[in-house]
Chain A
Amino acid sequence: MTAALARLESEISSLRDELDALKETLPLREPGLRVPIQSLDPEPIEVVSPLEAVIRPVGDGFVATFFDANVNASGETESEAFENLKDMLVATLTELRRLGEERLGPEPARQLAVLKRFLRPREEAFLGRA
């Protein structure tokens, strides 16, 4: 009886792993909705060059991503995920700039460099700085 239970547990665990592996391929099969971001109003950040958000269903919600900088956000609806992505773009740019490049590892440093090509705080735009 105990051996049979152990075998069943092992089979369930194996099936769960296979199911997880299948789930990992699902986002790749979804083409995703592409939405341009042309403004982050009312945030004091100017969009220098339009960004493209890709919104995909994941689980029973949605994940919006700006792939170039790997910035991501979730939402119960596509529009909520999109709005949340805009908040994460602001948060990422603001916090990584605040930390400074010397306190960033390779991936956050890359993210900041990419974001700086697309976004600029308004005071810098006003003062004409890059």
Chain B
Amino acid sequence: MAILNQESALTIARKLEAEIITRRKAHDLALIYHDGVVVAKFGIRRGRKDLGHDHIMADIFLSPRDARRLASCEISRDEWIELLIEKGYLHGGR
């Protein structure tokens, strides 16, 4: 079983307040903004809800455990931003 499926991907996109770019291809694209700039993005596969989305963990710089915690609302958007800063993917001021 996949760690993240399409349903988790949509939950994460909503939680991170992503802008969804709809495409007529295999994926839609979720763009996550912080302070007016895109800080991360991930693809959402079009099709069944149970489609695997384990690629998202690398796209949003999270371990499987933290990705699951984000999907189940144990990690907030602000906490995720803090994690990005800690891991050096985002500057503290931005």
Which residue numbers of A lie inside 8 Å of B, CB to CB? 17, 20-21, 23-24, 58-61, 63-65, 70, 72-76, 83-84, 87-88, 90-92, 95-96, 99, 102-108
Contact yes or no, B27 A91, CB < 8 A: yes
Other-chain contact of A105, B23, B39, B42, B53 (Cβ < 8 Å): B39
B58 CB within 8 Å of chain A: yes
Give chain B interface residues in 75-94, CB to chain A under 8 Å: 89-91, 94
Q: Sort chain B's interface into a size bin.
A: 35 or more
Contact yes or no, B3 A84, CB < 8 A: no
- Map CB proximity to A onto B67-78 as digits: 1 under 8 Å, 0 otherwise: 010000000000
Other-chain contact of A59, B3, B29, B43, B58 (Cβ < 8 Å): B3
Instruction: Chain B residues near A59: list those with CB within 8 A.
Output: 1-3, 52, 54
Which residue of chain B lies nearest to A65 when distances are taken between CB atoms in the complex?
B58
Contact yes or no, A24 B64, CB < 8 A: yes
Which residue of chain A lies nearest to B52 when distances are taken between CB atoms in the complex?
A61
Instruction: Chain A residues near B42: list those with CB within 8 A.
Output: 72
Contact yes or no, B43 A84, CB < 8 A: yes
Other-chain contact of B26, A58, A60, A84, A105 (Cβ < 8 Å): A84
Question: CA–CA, A64 to B26, complex, Å?
Answer: 14
Contact yes or no, A104 B38, CB < 8 A: yes
Instruction: Chain A residues near B29: list those with CB within 8 A.
Output: 91-92, 95
Give chain B interface residues in 1-54, CB to chain A under 8 Å: 1-3, 21, 23, 25-27, 29, 31, 34, 36-43, 45, 51-54
